[in-house]
Chain A
Amino acid sequence: MESAGTSHGHGNIISEMLEEFNLQSTYGQHFFGIDLSPLSNLHLFGLDLSVNKAVVCLWLSTLITFGIIYYAGHGRGLVATGFRNMIEAIFTFIKLNVVEEALGHEGKKWLPFIGGLFFFILINNLIGLIPGSFAPTSNINVTAALAILVFIIFLIAGMIKQGPFKYWAHLAPGGLPKWMYVVLYPIEIITLFMKPLSLAIRLFANMLAGHIVIFSLLALIILFKMSLLMAPLPFLASVIMYAFEIFVALIQAYIFTILSAIYIGSAMHPEH
């Protein structure tokens, strides 16, 4: 990193990018080359509600998700064709492979929630691949909010299905010696809170890691002193990583939804 010192402070792209690469302001206004400075200032009740690029992208992905599902659900004709057919195929996949596998025959009423979750996370992941935009799921706040939503929902679903006291009694499996529960019950409580934590961190870290790898590969071009001989290699590698990111976005949306469905299912039907 000795070239960072020589080209520092001139305001050119190279020194700015190297400063970004130095990760000094990861949680500040800049985020690996993406400008996240507030577009408008809004402070309500002691909360910072300023709008920046991440918030705009989140609104945009919410609108796209709503638009896609509304369009697919309100189309004319009995047989879905074209785009509607694609959305219907994805929903059928979720119904067969996620909902019915994790929740059984009574999983039908969970399909709107699980399917909506899948599409929302998928669009949120994919919107970060548009140059100049920002993936809302590579921010821990968005994924933590989604995970806490799932956490509250599976707690409430379990307590409604089994009764509020039986749910907490059934956290540890039955049929063991009495003294085992003294050890087992605290472990089960920790497991309960690790579920949403791991959901949030898995999605957040996967999306963040992909972006950092692409950014680091592009920064290699600068470390190679912009030589035309060496520059195509990191460029090619970053294009391959970009294609891999599409796959990761799909897989992570699928993993988040199937784990949510499994958690809801296990809260409603504990193993005995």
Chain B
Amino acid sequence: MEGNLAHLGSGLAIGLATIGPGVGIGTIVGKTIEGMARQPESAGALRTTMFIGIAFAEALALYGFVFAILLFAK
């Protein structure tokens, strides 16, 4: 067994940081599909907005990822 508490922290950082964005991206995509099914003619605009929303939710997970890298490289 090698490693120290920083490695444990880095695993926890990325693991916990993915929970919220996972739920968020699921909600965004699910709601977009609902909207597309209801109004197929607005699918293009909805898809564009969906990607922007995903990018904002995903950024939160990536902050956790950056901190995980910083802790792991310690």
Q: Which residues of A contact B (CB under 8 A)?
A: 1, 4, 23-24, 26-27, 97, 101, 198, 201-202, 204-206, 208-209, 251, 254-255, 258-259, 262
Tell me if B4 counts as interface (CB < 8 A to partner A): no
Given contacts A1-B2, A202-B58, A209-B65, contact A258 B72 (CB under 8 A): no
Inter-chain CB contacts under 8 Å: number: 43
Q: Which 9 A-B pairs have the closest CB atoms?
A: A205-B62, A255-B55, A26-B73, A202-B59, A198-B59, A205-B65, A23-B72, A205-B66, A23-B73
Main secondary structure, interface of B, reads: helix
Residues from chain A with Cβ under 8 Å of B62 in the complex = 201-202, 205-206, 209
| Chain A residues touching B, majority SS | helix
Interface 0/1 of B49-69, CB less than 8 Å to A: 001100100110011011001
Measuring CB to CB, which residues of chain B are less than 8 angstroms from any residue of chain A? Answer: 2, 44, 48, 51-52, 55, 58-59, 62-63, 65-66, 69, 72-73
Closest residue of chain A to B2, judged by CB? A1
- A4 partner residues in chain B, CB cutoff 8 A: 2
Interchain nearest-CB distance for B72 vs A (Å): 5
13 residue pairs of the A-B complex, CB under 8 angstroms, read A24-B73, A26-B69, A27-B73, A97-B44, A101-B48, A201-B59, A201-B66, A206-B62, A209-B65, A255-B52, A258-B48, A258-B51, A258-B52
